[in-house]
């Protein structure tokens, strides 16, 4: 059994989402708690801007959860920067026990899985999860410096400049995290670092199939099943392959990378990506729909591509992973 | 309270340590389960060699624990490579739920903390922890390509080519993990990336002081208190500052970075470092001393420096973190 049903489902006491100009201009702009038109967040390097986003988003989530920093028992966080420095510098000032995570774009769900299991077990009363990505720091680290003006391929995704945060607590009214399932590393053999959707789709399918089999739930249980971030390419692969396995996801399925940006009009090719993409979509847009009563059950399946710039140059294919979190308005 | 006493202390069912030529020639060489004179482990890039070390060390630990891969519920792992690809590629073939961690040289203790809490809580029956580092992949990533023949400063440490692994289980005879404490990110203001010991010592002291205060234990409780890896510089700072706080650690204190290599004769300057350094010392040397009955209580305090190559170039100081694990022969 990979599925874990939490015996004391933790409450999402508060959440926050932060973005930049492009994310604000996208279809979910109104769901951001804060955005910075310049993307600098007042800092003089893009890496420091990303750290500052993490600091801001955690502060906003704490405020919305009516939770003092002193009440936090631990922080679970990560990002895409080499050695996860976005989190290290951004969360330094909170002075809290810190678990650094790396799951690429799946990091926010990995944090939610670990945080909610440890709250449910009673080790911690309140914990925070945080993850972020920044288009400008990611481009120069993984692809080209912005000044180079590199062309993007049709299957490329756009790294979101965004961050999300949850505050999870033992007590309180929902929504709750009721079920979690950690992903396995799955290698579908894709070697094109500009086609992450195809690289990660096999991991999403692996986790989804295991979830439906072990939980007994069907796609109909959910208002939405959301991957993050497969983009258009990965979404089409997932829909097609899940259909062959007997699961028609058409009605409920979408992808955080497709939701965040306005498709062709925003010129993001296959959609958004990055640790901050699904983190901000779930923490902002989706949580608002829980609070308005529109959503009652969402299956959040964050996908990550576990390569680096050197491994693709060395000819290695790109393994993916997909961590699953069931968010529900009822225990 | 940061200290967590595990109600069902997990057993360290098996452990393994792997190294290269230099680690084998050091004072703990006989405690390695396997070493490769070439450091390549049969691979054609140093990054792939590091992944292969992770694969090998987990297989050895499973064998020593008499545990089938099928029995493993999850793997907690990380390394120093950008985006933690050492673990992603090295552990891919096991096909197990995977939690990617980044805590720099503290990763092995971070993995042990999370793994042991989740076994103690009953979510998992058996889990593995793995971490690694490789001198050649680390040098070219963090400092200079080996071909450049760069000079090392007197306070520099030598990244161990090594890996360690624990198999933790709900049942079985000890040694056990009885107490854990996650570290906080502490910034002492050090900006010299060749003086990691000084950068990480404040974090070690922060965790140690919290541990002694909350546990009621004193240094005398332990056969050894082992940091990993502060090196000679960080050890002297820690001894001195702990003394000022009223704790004389002289009798029991040592550092995995000092134990692994033979000091001046091996020309490692301030000692060993890297995610694989303390992982291999604890999984090999220390675990053997538990099994021989020589040790009954060891406080393992793994320290990590949470910078990257860009953050130091951008003038940021180097924050540290220290995660604590109490290994005991009795529950």
A81, A89, A102: residue with CB nearest B101: A102
Q: pLDDT at position A265, please? A: 84
Q: Which two tokens stand for residue B91?
A: 């552990």
Question: Could you read off the pLDDT of A232-248 as tens digits, one per residue?
Answer: 999 999 999 999 999 99
Q: pLDDT at position A23, please? A: 98
Higher pLDDT, B236 or B269: B236
A101:B104 CB<8 A: no
Dist CA A92 CA A60 (whole Å)? 16
Q: What percent of chain A lies above the pLDDT cut of 90?
A: 93
Question: Could you read off the pLDDT of B9-24 as tens digits, one per residue?
Answer: 999 999 999 999 999 9
B97:A319 CB<8 A: no
pLDDT at residue B264 is higher than 80: no
Dist CA B94 CA A115 (whole Å)? 25
Where exactly are the structural domains of chain B? Answer: 4-169, 176-328
Distance from CA of A331 to the nearest CA of B (A): 18
Q: pLDDT at position A173, please? A: 93
Among A9-18, A280-289, B48-57, B146-155, the range scoring the smallest mean pLDDT is: B146-155
A307:B82 CB<8 A: no
A307:B83 CB<8 A: yes
Distance from CA of B18 to the nearest CA of A (A): 23
Question: Could you read off the pLDDT of B307-330 as tens digits, one per residue?
Answer: 999 999 999 999 999 999 999 999
Question: Could you read off the pLDDT of B214-243 as tens digits, one per residue?
Answer: 999 999 999 999 999 999 999 999 999 999
CATH number, domain A4-169, options 3.40.50.1100, 3.40.50.2300, 3.40.47.40, 3.40.50.720? 3.40.47.40
Residue A4: pLDDT band (50, 70, 90) is very high
Residue A205: pLDDT band (50, 70, 90) is very high
Distance from CA of B11 to the nearest CA of A (A): 19
Q: pLDDT at position B151, please? A: 86
Dist CA B176 CA B82 (whole Å)? 32
Q: Which two tokens stand for residue B34?
A: 């396997």
Can you list the alpha helix ranges (DSSP code H) found in chain B? 21-25, 46-64, 85-91, 107-120, 135-142, 196-215, 231-244, 256-260, 275-280, 287-291, 309-313
Q: pLDDT at position B12, please? A: 98
Mean pLDDT of B279-288: 98
Residue A324: pLDDT band (50, 70, 90) is very high
Higher pLDDT, B268 or A63: A63
Rounded CA Rg of chain B:
18
A48:B314 CB<8 A: yes
Q: Which residues of A37-67 are buried (b: 16+ CB within 10 A; e: fewer)?
A: eebbbebebbbbbbbbbbbbbbbbbbebbeb
Residues of chain B found within 8 Å of residue A321, distances taken between Cβ atoms: 98, 100
Dist CA A176 CA A62 (whole Å)? 17
Mutate to test the interface with B, among A77, A117, A185, A319 (most CBs of B within 10 A): A185
pLDDT at residue A121 is higher than 90: yes
Question: Could you read off the pLDDT of B102-154 as tens digits, one per residue?
Answer: 999 999 999 999 999 999 999 999 999 999 999 999 999 998 888 998 888 88
Mutate to test the interface with B, among A74, A100, A109, A121 (most CBs of B within 10 A): A100
Dist CA B80 CA B275 (whole Å)? 7
Residue of chain B whose alpha carbon sits nearest to that of A43? B314
Closest CA to A214 of A179, A178, A247: A179
A316:B89 CB<8 A: yes
pTM comes to: 0.98
Distance from CA of A97 to the nearest CA of B (A): 4
- Between strands B162-169 and B126-133, the pairing is antiparallel
Closest CA to B181 of B280, B326, B298, B286: B326
- Domains A4-169 and A176-328 alike in fold: yes
Burial class (CB in 10 A: 0-12, 13-18, 19+), B189: exposed
Mean pLDDT of B271-291: 97
- The residues that bridge with A98 in the sheet, in sequence order, are A75
B82:A82 CB<8 A: yes
Q: What percent of chain B lies above the pLDDT cut of 70?
A: 100
- For chain A, the average pLDDT equals 96
Question: Could you read off the pLDDT of A52-104 as tens digits, one per residue?
Answer: 999 999 999 999 999 999 999 999 999 999 999 999 999 999 999 999 999 99
Higher pLDDT, A150 or B254: B254
A306:B84 CB<8 A: yes
pLDDT at residue A124 is higher than 90: yes
Q: pLDDT at position A27, please? A: 97
Distance from CA of A264 to the nearest CA of B (A): 30
Highest CATH level, class, for B176-328: alpha beta
Q: pLDDT at position B88, please? A: 98
- For chain B, the average pLDDT equals 96
Closest CA to A260 of A159, A169, A119: A159
- The residues that bridge with B226 in the sheet, in sequence order, are B254, B300
Mutate to test the interface with A, among B88, B108, B113 (most CBs of A within 10 A): B88
Mutate to test the interface with A, among B10, B94, B102, B177 (most CBs of A within 10 A): B102
Dist CA B164 CA B182 (whole Å)? 20
A–B interface: beta-carbon pairs under 8 A: 150
A185:B88 CB<8 A: yes
Q: What is the DSSP letter of A26?
A: S
Interface confidence: ipTM more than 0.90: yes
Query: Which residue do the tokens 């029995």 mark?
Result: B71
Residues of chain A found within 8 Å of residue B322, distances taken between Cβ atoms: none
A2, A85, A314: residue with CB nearest B308: A85
Burial class (CB in 10 A: 0-12, 13-18, 19+), A325: buried
B89, B99, B104: residue with CB nearest A83: B104
Q: pLDDT at position B144, please? A: 87
Question: Could you read off the pLDDT of A145-187 as tens digits, one per residue?
Answer: 889 988 888 888 999 999 999 999 999 998 999 999 999 999 9
Q: pLDDT at position A105, please? A: 97
């Amino acid at each position: 059994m990979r599925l874990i049903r939490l015996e004391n489902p933790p409450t999402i006491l508060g959440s926050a989402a932060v973005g930049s100009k492009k994310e604000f201009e996208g279809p979910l702009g109104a769901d951001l708690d804060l955005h910075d038109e310049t993307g600098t967040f007042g800092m003089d390097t893009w890496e420091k801007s990303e750290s500052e986003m993490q600091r801001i988003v955690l502060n906003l989530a704490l405020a919305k959860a009516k939770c003092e920093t002193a009440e936090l028992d631990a922080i679970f966080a990560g990002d895409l920067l080499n050695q996860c420095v976005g989190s290290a510098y951004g969360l330094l000032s909170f002075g809290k026990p810190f678990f650094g995570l790396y799951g690429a774009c799946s990091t926010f769900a990995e944090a939610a899985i670990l945080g909610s299991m440890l709250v449910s077990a009673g080790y911690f009363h309140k914990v925070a999860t945080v993850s972020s990505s920044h288009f400008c720091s990611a481009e120069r680290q993984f692809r080209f410096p912005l000044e180079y003006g590199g062309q993007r391929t049709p299957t490329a995704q756009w790294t979101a400049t965004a961050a999300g945060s949850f505050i999870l607590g033992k007590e309180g009214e929902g929504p709750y995290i009721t079920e979690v399932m950690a992903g396995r590393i799955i290698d579908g053999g894709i070697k094109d670092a500009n086609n992450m959707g195809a690289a990660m789709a096999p991991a999403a399918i692996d986790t989804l199939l295991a979830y439906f089999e072990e939980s007994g739930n069907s796609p109909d249980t959910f208002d939405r099943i959301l991957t993050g971030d497969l983009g258009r390419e990965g979404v089409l692969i997932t829909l097609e392959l899940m259909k062959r396995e007997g699961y028609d996801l058409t009605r409920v399925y979408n992808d955080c990378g497709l939701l965040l940006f306005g498709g062709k009009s925003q010129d993001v090719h296959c959609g958004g990506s990055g640790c901050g993409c699904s983190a901000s979509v779930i923490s902002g847009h989706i949580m608002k729909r829980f609070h308005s009563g529109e959503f009652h059950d969402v299956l959040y399946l964050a996908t990550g591509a576990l390569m680096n710039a050197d491994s693709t140059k060395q000819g290695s294919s790109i393994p993916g992973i997909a961590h699953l979190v069931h968010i529900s308005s009822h225990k």
